[in-house]
Structure 1
């Protein structure tokens, strides 16, 4: 019995010594806490928007080292942002960087922009040049439930405003409930400086108009290398020659809706600095209603070819041609890049559905690379995610859904011009008008799953009521006709 007690006491002593040894070893190892807590992004809440006409990976999770960070507070809509100091007009070359909009997550301190960077806003939107910017955005229901194709992460450029307009959209938007949807710095256009292996890898995750999915790196390099002048980087590249004494850029954006028939808006439209049109824009014979000038023509190769086939009988012969006309591609397939390259180099399309075709047929013999522009897929995805996030994204048709070509054109003007007037876009009384202004008999508006025209119609009403655009309507108190 005494021997058993001695053995038990020895075992207890040995176990105690082993436990003390383990504790000492653990205390000697450094704790894996960061030296300083990570900085927290400011959060924005996206309001739900509820909508023109043509033929997700979770929101950027942080790296593994951040997974133990405490959860961030629930993002809320920030107060109106300060307009800040508007910089004087000078067309500086935009500098690409990466702007991320995450679901109000913590960002590693080493990836944040330095504290001494100059911010254009006072409430969470940080605009800097030539560095990675992690910008917090709290979309409703954002987080791990977001599907991979959403991709709320965008390249950013520090682009100074072209004017010092005191009554421009950039200043007015700060006083509206729409401020949470706007990101400054997402490039509207893509150009030669945007093509890198890193960007190709990032954007290849997103199909169609929203990325470079399915587009070979070689095709991108060969196409975008011709867009290497300042004219290719700026939507309104000739403003310094056009401005005269105006302090504000006024743009007319003309859709093809039947509401324009007998509207007598032609003179008013042509009186703007810039006139945007899209797809089957028939001008000849309708000048009194829709004007005669075109400074920017927006299209995809698919919508252009469809327009050539569908509206030839009504008088559509192809894109408008004039010395002031710029051609803005909305790329949703490699055929857009191939047609762009052929047009810029005055050669025939080398492959694809348009193989062997001469771009001069569409853009004229004298078209130059400086007159060609192409929307950036980040911009298209940003418009879809922030302004036109349709329920179609939750269906099996999610990969073909995108904002309509007319919607992209109007929202591009909203992000570029100081004052925007919209004509020929769908309004709540759309059933009173034919689909297009040039149709001799009534044709109802067609609805297809690849666009959400009702959501777009609601967005135009929202922008109009907020004073950010002037929308032409027949029936509304205070309507500007």
Structure 2
């Protein structure tokens, strides 16, 4: 090779090396530097070994790297250990890395609680309670001590107010009870009428046996005879036995004169509504019923169906004319004798009557169009009031399974069958008397 050819080759080689050098320098200067977090996001790489755990480069980054479990050494990853504390699982390998949001996930709302069946609003199974109520006796064999061991224990409320008095009237109570009509509340009775009536009833009207302190003769148990008007009493000769009780309850068209041998002669408590009393005076006048029994012993207990009961009570207790309603009069009412005072009268609490309907006599009638007129019969309210206030109860003249053998009333001059109407469930009441008798809570007079 000639000297000129060698020089040309060396020159070309030099230029080639320079070109490669320039190309290398250009590539190095233009090389793109990949951020570390992007490298992390693409882990794992073949042959890559993680040495540390850098934090994101910007606090505004909405995502962070996290382990499945806190990692000792990483910020926020070192847990404070207490003696005996349980250590978590070992640090997972890089292959377990995953991205988690910085915000805690929105918790899912709990599944809705299924609604329990609710009672119809006209039932109202909540009642006033007598906070300072106490039994008037300490009878070891009394009903209130027995009832807990019977099937009636769960439904029996020993501290429900049986009677109303002036301490029960308030604007709040009026708003609560005006929702319930008839005997079950104060619906249809204006507030002024309630105040006018209940304001005259003092603490003696609050308790059933307001004279027990004078009459007990050292007895620790109140023994009550509750006398219905059923035909089963005709020829019973139970009069003497009835009169030997501490108190005798009677109801509606209670004809005593001429029937003393069968039904007794005393009346301690007479239960009625203005409507039932007036109806009895019309229907049983021929049998000798001309109005409520009158004696120094007798107390009168209204079962308030309408505002007319509150109006009549006030007029009779204050000896003033009846101002309005069907019984409106120019003179004071004479039904209860000339010596009647406010202490002579009592009136059932509407919570008590509704409680009896709901828990003792909850008839299928409440599911019919007659539900607004249905209530326990006046005799049933009387007997169940005795159950809640007396220590021992003997019931006479109430319907028994053989009722078809007897006339409707003990004073009927000829046989009359028992009438059944939508406003009372007499068959259900008859069944209840049998249950109470078997439970030992009452002693029911039966021929068989």
Specify the TM-score bucket, using the shorter chain as the normaliser.
0.7 to 0.9
* 2:204 alignment partner, SS class: helix
State the number of aligned residues. Answer: 355
Within a 5 Å distance, the mapping from 1:251-400 to structure 2 comes to 251-356=224-329, 358=331, 360-400=333-373
State the partner residue of 2:394. 421
State the partner residue of 2:186. 212
TM-score normalised according to structure 2 size? 0.75
* Residues 1:264 and 1:358: Cα distance change in structure 2 (over 3 Å): farther
* Residues 1:357 and 1:400: Cα distance change in structure 2 (over 3 Å): farther
* Residues 1:202 and 1:282: Cα distance change in structure 2 (over 3 Å): same
* 2:127 alignment partner, SS class: strand
State the partner residue of 1:401. 374
* Residues 1:460 and 1:312: Cα distance change in structure 2 (over 3 Å): same
* 1:145 CA displacement: 3.5
State the partner residue of 1:221. 195
* 1:22 CA displacement: 6.9
* Residue 184 in structure 1 maps to residue 158 in structure 2: yes
Q: Is the 8 A contact 1:231 1:371 kept in 2?
A: no
* 1:382 alignment partner, SS class: helix
* Residue 166 in structure 1 maps to residue 137 in structure 2: no
Q: For residues 125 and 358 of structure 2, what CA distance do their matches in structure 1 show?
A: 7
Q: For residues 412 and 357 of structure 1, what CA distance do their matches in structure 2 show?
A: 34
Instruction: Provide Cα deviations, 1:219-259, integer angstroms capped at 9, x if missing partner.
Output: 1111100112x211111111111100211100000000000
State the partner residue of 1:197. 171
* Residue 234 in structure 1 maps to residue 184 in structure 2: no
Q: For residues 342 and 23 of structure 1, what CA distance do their matches in structure 2 show?
A: 73
Q: Is the 8 A contact 1:339 1:359 kept in 2?
A: no
* Residues 1:14 and 1:395: Cα distance change in structure 2 (over 3 Å): farther
Q: For residues 69 and 256 of structure 1, what CA distance do their matches in structure 2 show?
A: 55
State the partner residue of 2:37. none
Q: For residues 341 and 212 of structure 2, what CA distance do their matches in structure 1 show?
A: 18
* 1:163 CA displacement: 1.1
Please, which moves more after superposition, 277-286 or 153-162?
153-162
* 1:214 CA displacement: 1.3
Instruction: Provide Cα deviations, 1:96-152, integer angstroms capped at 9, x if missing partner.
Output: xxxxxxxxxxxxxxxxxxxxxxxxxxxxxxxxxxxxxxxxxxxxxx95341110000
Instruction: Provide Cα deviations, 1:9-59, integer angstroms capped at 9, x if missing partner.
Output: xxxx99957x968759x89xxxx9xxxxxxxxxxxxxxxxxxxxxxxxxxx
Q: For residues 187 and 68 of structure 1, what CA distance do their matches in structure 2 show?
A: 41
State the partner residue of 1:411. 384
In structure 2, runs of 5+ residues without a counterpart are: 1-58, 64-99
* 1:360 CA displacement: 3.8
Q: For residues 426 and 447 of structure 1, what CA distance do their matches in structure 2 show?
A: 12
Rg larger in structure: 2
Q: For residues 68 and 339 of structure 1, what CA distance do their matches in structure 2 show?
A: 56
Which of 175, 192, 209 aligns to 2:149? It is 175
* 1:420 CA displacement: 0.3
In structure 1, runs of 5+ residues without a counterpart are: 1-12, 33-66, 72-141, 476-481
Within a 5 Å distance, the mapping from 1:90-109 to structure 2 comes to none
* 1:194 CA displacement: 0.4
